[in-house]
Amino acid sequence: MKTIKDLDIKNKKVLIRCDFNVPLKDGKIEDDNRIVEALPTIKYAIEENAKVILLSHLGRVKEESDLEKNNLKVVADRLSELLGKDVIFVNETRGEELEEKINSMNPKDVLLIQNTRYEDLDGKKESSNDEELGAYWASLGDVFINDAFGTVHRAHASNVGIASHKEGNSAVGFLVEKELKALSELDNPERPFMVILGGAKVSDKIGVIENLVTKADKILIGGGMAFTFLKAKGFNIGKSLLDEENIDFCKKVLAEHEDKIILPVDVKSSTEYSNDTPMKVVTINEIEENDMGLDLGPQTIDLYEKYLSLAKTVIWNGPLGVYEFDNYKAGTEDLLKYLVDNNIKTILGGGDIVAAASNCNLKDKVFHASTGGGSTLEYLEGKKLPGIESIK
């Protein structure tokens, strides 16, 4: 795979697709990890005297009222602080002002174009990879670098569109290179190879389960999705999360791979989805009509630690409980801590599990914490990633 180092970018206009899709609260950045992760590629381009033109999406833009809350200016400000230099922000996604600002750039200048999804207001041009838009953005630079791992599973104008007009002059950045290298560890993993799957719904993880159940030595299941498996085994799950449509899928997986799928033996539950209603620990035989399972119980944490003590490689997607509530974060946090303390090669597959690891200061201690939840899932499903294919 060609990387930015394989292209001559000296004094050139270099378009870099970054993933600056950061979580915002009240107009402020809650977690700047994705901006920090983009820095190596941006700094390298600056060192090479390139004129650095950055593109990214932020949130979803469906109607006029989505524009201001997804304005990328806040990212330009943070990036400027992190780089210790001005970032020219252009409040346009196309047009004269943008072209003039690009034409007057000096080597080492950094410019950020407004949210690429502003183009979605007019017929979803960015998200549907509008041909004219991809060609236009490609015309703004000499070389294209895709460093937005979080969107490589999508074919949008700002990644696949631009790349298709820059054949021979496109490559991936250091973040995409790092992410792919880490994930490739799973192609031929050191064994035992174990998968931890949590999160809300079974439906989001069907492809991953189907693809990994034959490759992995064990799949440890937690989170809301565990209850659909328990229901499939005939347990009463009370008011716990149920993915009714996928009970049959769970039955089938259990019938074919009973030895590989490991399920909770006890849970922490409450009567409401709340941190404030009383919490109790029950075994899975004791869940009552009014109970809602919200985290793994202590016996399950012990059991999962015993399995993980044997593991050489672990991939983890989705939290094992409602980690956002203090009472129900132990399953996720204790097992994260166990993996770190025991130096087990662990890849966190983006999204909530990385946020959970960040909250308990363990993110930087694992082997790899991905910046792309959806991209990692599709990689694990064995699918091709359009953002990568378009560079190849």
> Between residues 143 and 253, which has the closer beta carbon with respect to ligand AMP?
253
Contacts of 167 (CB under 8 A, 6+ apart): none
CB of 231 to ligand AMP, least distance (A): 13
User: Which range of residues in 127-135, 209-217, 279-287, 317-325 is near ligand AMP by CB under 6 A?
Assistant: 317-325
User: Which range of residues in 49-57, 164-172, 245-253, 318-326 is near ligand AMP by CB under 6 A?
Assistant: 318-326
Q: Is 150 a binder of ligand AMP (CB under 6 A)?
A: no
> Between residues 322 and 380, which has the closer beta carbon with respect to ligand AMP?
322
User: Which range of residues in 15-23, 57-65, 192-200, 210-218 is near ligand AMP by CB under 6 A?
Assistant: 192-200
Q: Is 282 a binder of ligand AMP (CB under 6 A)?
A: no
CA dihedral of 250, 220, 223, 37, whole degrees rounded to 10: -120
Q: Is 350 a binder of ligand AMP (CB under 6 A)?
A: no
CB of 253 to ligand AMP, least distance (A): 17
Separation in Å, CA 231 to CA 82, 244, 279: 49, 9, 21
Q: Is 200 a binder of ligand AMP (CB under 6 A)?
A: yes
Cross-strand pairs, 51: 13
Separation in Å, CA 9 to CA 48, 176, 239: 7, 18, 58
Q: Is 224 a binder of ligand AMP (CB under 6 A)?
A: yes
Q: Using CA atoms, how far apart are residues 377 and 368, in angstroms rounded to an integer?
A: 15
Q: Is 322 a binder of ligand AMP (CB under 6 A)?
A: yes
Catalytic, 234? Answer no
Q: Is 293 a binder of ligand AMP (CB under 6 A)?
A: yes
**From the list 189, 351, 386, 387, which residue makes contact with ligand AMP (rule: CB under 6 A)?**
351
Contacts of 161 (CB under 8 A, 6+ apart): 129, 130, 131, 133, 134, 135, 137, 138, 155
Contacts of 40 (CB under 8 A, 6+ apart): 173, 174, 175
Q: Is 223 a binder of ligand AMP (CB under 6 A)?
A: yes
For ligand AMP, the nearest residue by Cβ is: 199
> Between residues 91 and 283, which has the closer beta carbon with respect to ligand AMP?
283
Cross-strand pairs, 195: 219, 315
Catalytic, 191? Answer no
Q: Is 272 a binder of ligand AMP (CB under 6 A)?
A: no
Catalytic, 154? Answer no
Out of 238, 351, 372, 373, pick the active-site residue: 351
- For residue 38, the Cα-to-chain-centroid distance in whole angstroms is 14
- DSSP string of 277-328, one letter each residue: S--EEEETT---TT-EEEEE-HHHHHHHHHHHTT-SEEEEES-SS-TTSGGG
Residues carrying an active site annotation: 34, 201, 351, 374
Residues that bind ligand AMP (CB under 6 A): 198-201, 204, 223-224, 241, 293-294, 318-319, 321-322, 324, 351-352
